[in-house]
Amino acid sequence: MQVSVKYFASLREVIGEANSVVDIEEGTSVNSLWQSIIKRKNIEFDNVMMAVNMEYVKSGHQLKTGDEVAFFPPVTGG
């Protein structure tokens, strides 16, 4: 199945792209997807926020075909 993936802020620069379409197995969690991306890109970026279809989700959220997944670094302010 396929999901659309978007990267924001500094992740966009680290990953080297703004978005992609990724083939995953049914039942894949959003965290498993993230782990496969950072392994494939050979980067380290542990602290990341995740959203599916424009809603924040926990790392164990299971993805469905056609989902739009967004990864971005935590927002900080002062």
Query: Domains plus CATH for the chain?
Result: 2-72 (3.10.20.30)
Of 77, 59, 17, the closest CA to residue 5 belongs to 17
**pTM for this prediction:** 0.91
Q: Is the pLDDT of residue 78 over 70?
A: no
Please state, rounded to an integer, the average pLDDT across all residues of the chain.
Answer: 93
Q: What is the mean pLDDT of residues 29-38?
A: 96
3-state DSSP assignment of residue 39? helix
pLDDT at residue number 45: 81
Q: Compute the distance between CA of residue 62 and CA of residue 12 in angstroms, rounded to an integer.
A: 23
pLDDT tens per residue, range 60-69: 999 999 999 9
Sheet holding 68-72, edge to edge: 19-23, 2-7, 68-72, 49-52, 55-56
Query: In this structure, what token pair is assigned to residue 54?
Result: 């424009």
pLDDT at residue number 75: 74
What distances in angstroms separate CA 71 from CA 18, 19, 78, one per listed residue? 10, 10, 22
